[in-house]
Chain A
Amino acid sequence: MQNDEPYTDLTALFEAQDAAFADDGFTDRVMTPIRRRASWRSPLLFGAGGIGVGAALSQIGGLWRAVVDWLPESTVQVGGVPDVSLELGALSPLWFAAAGIMAVCCLAILVSERA
C-alpha cells in the first residue's frame, strides 16, 4: 500500500472517528440473514437433489436385482424386494434428463453462492 503523499495525520483523524462506532447490533443485523439462509438452503438443495436421484434410480428396473446379485448372500435379505417392471434398457431418457438438470441446478446454485 504505497502512496505518494504522506497523510497519516488525516488517516489518524478518520480512524479515530471510526473507533467511535459502537457495534450496536450491526453485526447481528448482518449475520441474521446469513444464518437464516444457511438453515434452509442445505436441506432444500440436498433434499431436492436426493428426490431427483431417487426418482431416477427407481426407474432403473434391473438395478436393484443387479445390486442384490453382486452383494454377498449372507449380508442381504432380498425376500421382500418387489418385482420390477422395467428393464435397464427400457429406461426413459426423460428421467435421466430430469435428474441431470436438477443436479446441474444444485451445482450452479452452490457455485454461485461461493463465487
Chain B
Amino acid sequence: MRSDQDLAAEAAAGDEAAFETLVRRHQAAVRGLTRRLTGRPVEADDLAQSAFLTAWRKIGSYRGGAFKSWLCTIAYREFLQARRRHKPEVEFDESTHIIAFDLSAARMADRLDLDRALKQLPENQRICVVLCVAAGLSHSEASRATGWPLGTVKSYVNRGVAALRQHLAAEDVA
C-alpha cells in the first residue's frame, strides 16, 4: 500500500487518482471530526467536502508529517469559517447524528453514550478532545490549529478527557 506521503506527492503533481485514494482513506476520520464539531451530519459532510477540496488546492503546501493531522487541521479551519458565516440554528442534534451511522444496536448505544458525554463538555474542551483524542493531533498541532497556547490546549485536553471518562462511567452505572 502506498504511503500518504507518496500519494500526496503524486496528487501535488496533478494526479487525481492519487488524491482520490487519499479521500477514500481519510474520509471517515474527517467526516467523524466535522460531525463531532458540528453535531449535524448534513452540515458536517458539506464541511468535510470543503475541507477535501481545499486540501486538493493546497496539496502543494503539504510538507510531510501525518497527512491525517494536516487534513483534520484544514477541516477544523473550515468549521471555524462556517461558524463565523452562519450562527448555528439548532443545537447538537443527537438523533440525526445517530441515524447517519450504520451500526448494530449495541454499538449504537456505545455511540450514543460517547456523543452524549462529548456534548456535556464545554466547547473549548470539546474542540481539544475532538482534535487530539479523536482525530489524533498532537498537542502542538492542536495549538497551531486553534491558535491557543500549548499549555492551554494540554489543560483543555486533560480536563476534557477526565470529564469524558467521568460521564461514561456514570452512564455505565446508570
Q: For the side of the interface on B, what is the size category?
A: 35 or more
Expressed in whole angstroms, the minimum distance between the Cβ of A107 and any Cβ of chain B is 15
Interface stretch among B1-9, B76-84, B107-115?
A: B107-115
B12 engages A7 (CB within 8 Å): no
Q: What number of A-B contacts does a CB cutoff of 8 Å give?
A: 98
Interface stretch among A30-38, A52-60, A74-82, A92-100?
A: A30-38
What secondary structure prevails in chain A residues at the interface with B? helix
Q: How far is the CA of A21 from the CA of B101 in the complex (A)?
A: 6
Expressed in whole angstroms, the minimum distance between the Cβ of B67 and any Cβ of chain A is 13
Most chain A CB inside 10 Å of its own CB: which residue of B61, B134, B136, B138: B134
Q: How far is the CA of A38 from the CA of B19 in the complex (A)?
A: 13
A31 engages B32 (CB within 8 Å): no
Q: Which residues of A contact B75 (CB under 8 A)?
A: none
Q: How many residues of A contact B (CB 8 A)?
A: 30
Interface residues of A (CB under 8 A from B): 1-5, 7, 10-11, 13-14, 16-23, 26-27, 29-31, 33-35, 38, 113-115
Expressed in whole angstroms, the minimum distance between the Cβ of B101 and any Cβ of chain A is 5
Interface residues of B (CB under 8 A from A): 12, 14, 16, 19-20, 23-24, 27-29, 31-32, 45, 48-49, 52-53, 56-61, 66, 69, 101-103, 107, 110-111, 114, 129, 132-134, 136-139, 141, 154, 157-158, 161, 164-165
Expressed in whole angstroms, the minimum distance between the Cβ of A41 and any Cβ of chain B is 11
- In the complex where A1-B66, A10-B165 touch, is A34 in contact with B27 (Cβ < 8 A)? no
Q: Which residues of A contact B102 (CB under 8 A)?
A: 20, 22
Other-chain residue from A2, A7, A19, A27 in contact with B133 (beta carbon distance below 8 A): A7
Q: Which residues of A contact B49 (CB under 8 A)?
A: 26, 29-30
A18 engages B24 (CB within 8 Å): no
A26 engages B139 (CB within 8 Å): no
A34 engages B53 (CB within 8 Å): yes
Q: Which residues of A contact B101 (CB under 8 A)?
A: 17, 20-21
Q: How far is the CA of A4 from the CA of B16 in the complex (A)?
A: 38
